[in-house]
């Protein structure tokens, strides 16, 4: 089956991202992340996100702009991809108006399209182990450092509106951080088996 983008959904416009970061993080649940490459198309439904706010000690931008985090201060709707723990990458969506250093970390996807590519890239058999973590979904989707700063409102990497969901959104504290660990800025779809952690 071929992913029929125009028939299934429309690409989220820049205005979607140019809003309060917490609202963007919540509203991204149920949206579809798509990556079109020469090898084929991979796509997944976003089921878990985290908001990183300016003034929030866990946010890379909390101490001002640097070479690494400058994309976060740029126009919304772009990708912020950074290298972590010597071996992994994490994928974020820049939110809020230009000049504000905020972003939404995509933590988990429900695989939809290009499962075979994901299986090959991840070297894992189980569907639930393909995209249930920020570094895992980056691997499965074929996202690399070169995607840092790319515009997500157009091909080859973009986010489309998903079908309207009635699933309950659960709010918890964020995973894997020390500073700002008590802030309720993680969101996921209740009872979804593709999230990274309960």
Applying CB under 7 A, the residues found at the interface with DNA are 50, 52, 58-61, 63, 66-69, 72, 80, 83-88, 90, 92, 103, 105, 122, 124, 129, 133-137, 174-179, 196
The nearest distance, CB 145 to DNA, in angstroms, is 9
Which C-beta is closer to DNA: that of 11 or that of 138?
Answer: 138
Which C-beta is closer to DNA: that of 112 or that of 137?
Answer: 137
Which C-beta is closer to DNA: that of 13 or that of 83?
Answer: 83
Distance of CA 189 to the CA centre of its chain: 14
The nearest distance, CB 121 to DNA, in angstroms, is 10
Which C-beta is closer to DNA: that of 31 or that of 131?
Answer: 131
Q: Euclidean distance between the first and final Cα of the chain, in Å?
A: 32
Residue 68 has a CB neighbour count (10 Å cut-off) of 13
Q: How many whole angstroms separate alpha carbon 16 and alpha carbon 25?
A: 11
Q: How many whole angstroms separate alpha carbon 46 and alpha carbon 33?
A: 7
Q: At what angle do helices 115-122 and 134-141 cross, to 10 degrees?
A: 120
Helices in 39-197 by DSSP H: which ranges? 70-73, 115-122, 134-141
Q: What is the largest CA-CA distance in the chain?
A: 46
Which C-beta is closer to DNA: that of 13 or that of 57?
Answer: 57
The nearest distance, CB 62 to DNA, in angstroms, is 9
The nearest distance, CB 15 to DNA, in angstroms, is 22
Q: CA 126 → CA 15, 53, 73, 150, distances in Å?
A: 36, 34, 37, 30
The nearest distance, CB 94 to DNA, in angstroms, is 10
The nearest distance, CB 5 to DNA, in angstroms, is 26
Which C-beta is closer to DNA: that of 8 or that of 20?
Answer: 20
Q: Coil, strand, or helix at residue 36?
A: strand
């Amino acid at each position: 089956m071929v992913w029929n983008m125009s028939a299934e959904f429309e690409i989220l416009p820049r205005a979607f991202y140019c809003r309060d970061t917490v609202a963007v993080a919540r509203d991204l649940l149920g949206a579809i992340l798509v990556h079109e490459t020469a090898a084929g198309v991979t796509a997944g439904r976003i089921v878990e996100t985290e908001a990183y706010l300016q003034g929030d000690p866990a946010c890379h931008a909390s101490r001002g702009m640097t070479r690494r985090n400058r994309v976060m201060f740029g126009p919304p709707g772009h990708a912020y991809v950074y290298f972590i723990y010597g071996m992994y990458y994490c994928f974020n969506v820049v939110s809020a108006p230009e000049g504000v250093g905020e972003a939404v970390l995509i933590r988990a996807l429900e695989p939809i399209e290009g499962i075979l590519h994901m299986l090959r890239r991840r070297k894992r058999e189980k569907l639930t182990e393909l995209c249930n973590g920020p570094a895992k979904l980056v691997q499965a989707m074929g996202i690399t450092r070169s995607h840092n700063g790319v515009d997500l409102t157009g091909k080859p990497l973009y986010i489309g509106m998903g079908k309207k969901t009635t699933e309950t959104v659960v709010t918890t504290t964020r995973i894997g951080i020390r500073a700002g660990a008590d802030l309720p800025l993680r969101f996921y779809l209740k009872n979804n088996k593709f999230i990274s952690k309960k």
